[in-house]
Amino acid sequence: MSRTYPNYFARIGVSDAQARAKVEAAFQTIFFDPAEKFYHDVDVASPAGPATGCMEDTGNHDARTEGMSYGMMMAVQMDRQDLFDKLWAFSVKYMLLREGRHEGYFAWSVQLSGVHNAEGPAPDGEEYYAMALFMAAARWGDGEGIFNYTEQARTILRHCVHQHELVPTGQPMWDPDNHYIRFVPDALYTDPSYHLPHFYELFADRADPCDRDFWLEAARASRAFIAASAHPVTGMSAEYTEYDGATRLMFRKPAAYYSDAYRVAMNIALDTLWNGRDEGTAQVVTRLQDFFWPIAQEDFKAYHLDGAATEEPAMHPVAITAVLGAASIASDSVHADGWLQRFWDEPLRKGNRRYYDNCLYFFCLLMLSGMYKVY
């Protein structure tokens, strides 16, 4: 399909040049600012292997497949193959699991030295790795070994869909029956923010041809799930849900609308940008913008899906503003331009918790500026 990438900030008077400059400044902060970056070089290139680098979760002081794959997507969108290759080389060297039932997946958390904190994967990392690698192949071409991006991406997705066939006792990351992505491979429940139908549409064309129908059905099923599992009034999605969409509270979280869940609005926005409007998911972000507008100047909290606020402050308030800004790509709310302005006026977060907020901030800024493209 033919895609266009408009500058949505133009609706509030921001020029293309101003939007591009803000994206570049945010990228420079995340990767290079001495005080605020969370990218780090790790290994210098040597005969023993390529140079590596990692993205630090500054709240937990580890490197996660979430952040590593996010950093790779940032790098390919900003045409920085040097950074992309360092992040991918770190992932392969320190995070790739080479034996056991999770062989072919990536350890979701490691220390900045590469020592493992966990021996299991988190599927949102694998799907972002695969998409970033396919984008890299299209933008820069395939190289040799681990830098044969296309083959590396196909291998990841082959494990994600067929692990139960490839590895004894292994489990796939997508449920073979309903095509939903699992929270972890052994779990028969899901995380709504893991559902990325816009990626699956591209996987259908770029992954193993035998899995084309699987990915197309996963895209259809995920859009329907996102729309059905969100609250019918507030538009909020839970962090974790059963397959039927019922909320699953875990990890002693105080309420269902918590950090992971913020990404649902961002995902709907990017799906709309790349693939066009889906009525069901558009209504989700419309309701979200309408719900949050009256409290936009208050301190955000952790919320129950019906909108009831807890006493606990939101851990990532900048991320909430960012995704509500991005939601304007798909939303019919009368407050859509207001959210564009609020996000434009919001600075990057500083301090220990800046990693997650600023990752979502950057992706939302990128898509609203017309710079988050399919390669």
SS3 assignment, position 309: strand
CA dist list (Å): 61 to 110, 123, 188, 231: 9, 20, 29, 34
| Cβ-contact 149, 202 below 8 angstroms | no
Residues with catalytic roles: 66, 260
* CA distance linking residue 364 with residue 195, whole number of Å: 17
46: left (phi over 0), alpha (psi -120 to 50) or beta: beta
User: Scanning the structure block, which residue is given the tokens 């299209």?
Assistant: 138
Which residues have CB under 8 Å from 284's CB, separation 6+? 226, 227, 230, 235, 237, 264, 265, 268
What is the DSSP secondary structure assignment for residue 164, as one 8-state letter? H
Residue at token pair 């004894």: 168
CA-wise closest residue to 102 among 26, 160, 40, 175: 160
Side-chain-facing half-sphere of 220: CA atoms under 13 Å: 8
